[in-house]
Amino acid sequence: MIDSLSITRTLFEDFRPLAVTIFYAIGYGAIGIFLWGTWIQIRKYRYGTAYAVTGTLISRFKQMTGTMLTHRTLVRRDHAAGGAHALIFFGFALLFLGTSTITVEYDILKPLTGMRFWYGDFYLWFSLVLDVAGFMLGGGLVFMMWRRGWLKPPKLNYARPDRSPADPDYDRSGYRIEDWAFLWSLLIIAVTGFVLEGMRLVWLQGRPEVWDYRWWSPIGSAFAVAMRDLGLGAETAGTIRSGLWWFHGLIALAFIALIPFTKVKHIFTASASLMLRDPLAAQRLPRVPDSQESVGFSYITDLNWKQLLHLDACTKCGRCHEACPANATGAPLSPRDVILSLREFANKTLASGALPDQVELDIHGKSPGQVSMETLWSCRTCMACVEICPVAVEHIPIIVQMRRKLVEAGDMDPLLTKTLQTIAKTGNSFGESKRKRGSWTKALATPIKDARKEPVDYLWFVGDYASFDPRNQKVSQTFAGLLQEANVDFGLLYDSEQNAGNDVRRVGEEGLYDLLATANIEAMKNAQFKTIVTTDPHSFNTIRNEYGDFGGTFEIEHYTTLLRDLLTSGRLEVTRPLGYRVTFHDPCHLGRFNKGYDAPRDILKMIGCELIDMKRCRDNSFCCGAGGGRIWMPDPVGVEKPAQNRIREAAFIEGLEVYVVSCPKDLTMFEDATKTTGNEGRFVVRELIELVREAVASPVVLEAPVEQLA
């Protein structure tokens, strides 16, 4: 009978003491290089400005662990790559834990206490688990190599829309080499581990405690049986095993040593990035402290330490590159390239431990590692990049902070400059007198209350486009009629309302935003209401998520939730189900920013429409192109606009009758895009409010055309 203590694997079997000493010396050297490289990275982050982590570290750790174990951010929109990464991740983790388990017994417990556990049943199950782990790791790596080398998805080609071939940092072949080196090194470690196991089995085939239990290592046993069938003898296997052992061990130790200097460090930086995730990173931009002399980011040292960590967390997966509407329509912007450029710049200027002159720390421009003005102004701040990033990189706050510096320097489009001056002067982007903000209400048969003078249940924050744009004024009148018909007690701020400032802030004009937000908050505090309702998702976002930092915390909802409640309660009754075949565009600031996906769809179902979602919908919705102040800037002539791209997508829906929106800017952008793409007459763009009006009761009665009253 075989003693269970002999069912194990003797480390360094048949090795001379000098060889063992050399191995440990190399191993400690690898650990030393790893620790030194880790310090270099930490030292680099210390050059960043302060960042206060909110919430408990325990809750953040739990959230990060859950994300990593479920791989939920990795499988989204790319199940194959996410699944392959899961095989690599869990395979690598199990192999690492297995190696650590051996170290605990052999180097700690056994020398100090004589305790052993790595034998018998534990050893057999250990062997089986690690063989399965190695197979998982190898399978995931082979798929990733096939995907990268054969499928070649565009998001992995590292093409740079912000550079030309003549630029010195246009070519990123170094990244491709690094990617392949990472995959090959791990695969070689996995395969040589199996071959080494097979060689050991052939070498020790004469020992029953080894050979009789070989199938507890199924992959290694398969190699052993195959090599025996090919005529490999025990003595030859022992000789090969000795050389292969050193080859396998040295590669594994080199892999460990180089972790802080290569892509492999994302094991740690991505975990930390997920742990430090700000769920409102794009929705709630940072306020400039009163004590801060200048605004925005000029130098790499203006980024906070968390943002410098984010730069290293990026795995170059290209998901943000693929999701970006600016990039998809030919603008010189890729969120991935912004992050990689800044990472390259940080490594060049901060990793040495000695800061260069301040002029060499400037991150604005077109030199290697810098980000150009054209790139920054191409961003729609739609949050597509932040939302899809599997490792929680927060692109938008960095881009906006860099824009703030451009605004301070006056480096922006003349039309944008004029618009910001107009808003500063009149409180709205149309340049209209403040007294005209409520002029659209004069066409209604029933006046709307002034919330500054009498209490109301709902304060309707209308917004610029819904107040001044003629097409959107009609929608505002229709919504007012629906509320009156449902006996909703509501009122307006009239000329006390100003531009909410959401897009002003995302342009980078923080000073003007401060003035607008403060004025609106003061006006709201002087009014008497319970809840704010708005038809403008942009206003909805900033009032909900940002006004609190300026002393204005209010309960607010988008009109879609209010209309859904009115329909559900019967205060609005559908008398004519529409039966239209429709598609719905999720506004960025209602959808991705504030998760308002369901209410509009519920309403469409209630009013009898057949909803066919576009492929890019909900959190993957495609921006109309108006966000981030781009509605105030001209697009290049002859280049496709995001709204045109979106309308062409909708045109593929067979039998589409109505393209439904729930945002004033969307209505403007998509009605124009329907004409310029040649789809006028095929389907119409309608506000959801207009469809509800059509499905319930009688139309609003106007006393006079709004044009005569403006």
Q: State the DSSP string of 254-272.
A: HHHHTGGGSGGGHHHHHHH
Taking residues 501-506, report their average pLDDT: 98
| pLDDT (0 to 100) of residue 290 | 79
Q: What is the mean pLDDT of the chain?
A: 95
Q: What is d(CA 186, CA 178) in angstroms, rounded to the nearest whole number?
A: 12
Torsion of CA 31, 32, 34, 35, to 10 degrees: 120
Taking residues 194-211, report their average pLDDT: 94
Q: Assign 240 a pLDDT band (cuts: 50, 70, 90).
A: very high
Cβ atoms of 98 and 133 closer than 8 Å: yes
Rg of the chain (C-alpha set): 31
Q: Assign 135 a pLDDT band (cuts: 50, 70, 90).
A: very high
| pLDDT (0 to 100) of residue 710 | 33
Using left for φ > 0, alpha for ψ between -120 and 50, and beta otherwise, residue 705 falls in beta
| pLDDT (0 to 100) of residue 627 | 96
Taking residues 407-414, report their average pLDDT: 96
Residue 150 structure tokens: 């054969």
% of the chain surpassing 70 pLDDT: 98
Residue 558 structure tokens: 């988008």
pLDDT in tens, 333-355: 999 999 999 999 999 999 988 89
Cβ atoms of 451 and 492 closer than 8 Å: yes
Q: Assign 298 a pLDDT band (cuts: 50, 70, 90).
A: very high
| pLDDT (0 to 100) of residue 707 | 42
Cβ atoms of 624 and 669 closer than 8 Å: yes
pLDDT in tens, 252-263: 999 999 999 999
Lowest mean pLDDT among 519-523, 539-543, 637-641: 637-641
Cβ atoms of 312 and 41 closer than 8 Å: yes
- Tokens 């486009």 correspond to 465
Taking residues 373-389, report their average pLDDT: 97
Q: Assign 698 a pLDDT band (cuts: 50, 70, 90).
A: low
Count of H helices and E strands in the chain?
A: 30, 9
**pLDDT exceeds cutoff 80 at 708:** no
Cβ atoms of 129 and 123 closer than 8 Å: no
Nearest CA to 501 among 530, 459, 543, 470? 543
| pLDDT (0 to 100) of residue 431 | 97
Pure H helices in 276-426: 305-313, 319-323, 325-328, 335-350, 373-378, 384-388, 395-409, 414-426
Question: What is the distance, to the nearest Å, from the Cα of residue 557 to the centroid of all Cα atoms in its chain?
Answer: 25
Q: What is d(CA 387, CA 383) in angstroms, rounded to the nearest whole number?
A: 6
Q: What are phi and psi of 345, to 5 degrees?
A: -65, -40
pLDDT in tens, 435-469: 999 999 999 999 999 999 999 999 999 999 999 99
- In one-letter notation, the amino acid at residue 118 is W
**pLDDT exceeds cutoff 80 at 48:** yes
DSSP H/E element including 660: strand 658-661
- In one-letter notation, the amino acid at residue 534 is T
Question: Mapping DSSP to helix (H, G, I), strand (E, B) and coil, where does residue 611 land?
Answer: strand
3-class SS string, 155-188: HHCCCCCCCCCCCCCCCCHHHHHHHHHHHHHHHH
**pLDDT exceeds cutoff 80 at 405:** yes
pLDDT in tens, 219-233: 999 999 999 999 999
- Tokens 């729930």 correspond to 662
Q: What is d(CA 67, CA 71) in angstroms, rounded to the nearest whole number?
A: 6
Taking residues 376-401, report their average pLDDT: 97
Taking residues 514-518, report their average pLDDT: 98
Q: What is d(CA 186, CA 438) in angstroms, rounded to the nearest whole number?
A: 66
Residue 281 structure tokens: 């990173």
Cβ atoms of 306 and 617 closer than 8 Å: no
Buried b (16+ CB within 10 A) or exposed e, 183-206: bebbbbbbbbbbbbbbbbbbbbbe
Question: Mapping DSSP to helix (H, G, I), strand (E, B) and coil, where does residue 661 land?
Answer: strand
Taking residues 267-275, report their average pLDDT: 97
Q: How far is CA 409 from CA 298, 349, 370, 417, 468, in A?
A: 11, 24, 17, 11, 31
**pLDDT exceeds cutoff 90 at 684:** yes
Q: What is d(CA 528, CA 468) in angstroms, rounded to the nearest whole number?
A: 25
Taking residues 321-332, report their average pLDDT: 96
Residue 10 neighbours by CB under 8 Å, 6+ apart: none
Torsion of CA 61, 63, 68, 71, to 10 degrees: 180
Nearest CA to 587 among 561, 559, 617? 617
Torsion of CA 158, 164, 167, 170, to 10 degrees: 0
| pLDDT (0 to 100) of residue 2 | 83
Nearest CA to 183 among 238, 141, 139? 141
| pLDDT (0 to 100) of residue 429 | 97
Q: Which DSSP category does 107 fall into?
A: I
Q: What is d(CA 391, CA 311) in angstroms, rounded to the nearest whole number?
A: 11
Q: Is 463 exposed, middle or buried (0-12, 13-18, 19+ CB in 10 A)?
A: buried
| Domains of the chain from N-terminus onward | 57-157 (no CATH), 183-269 (no CATH), 285-411 (1.10.1060), 416-709 (no CATH)
Across the strands, what pairs with 362?
A: 299
Question: Mapping DSSP to helix (H, G, I), strand (E, B) and coil, where does residue 25 land?
Answer: helix
- Tokens 């690599």 correspond to 88
Q: What are phi and psi of 290, to 5 degrees?
A: -60, -30
Q: Assign 699 a pLDDT band (cuts: 50, 70, 90).
A: low
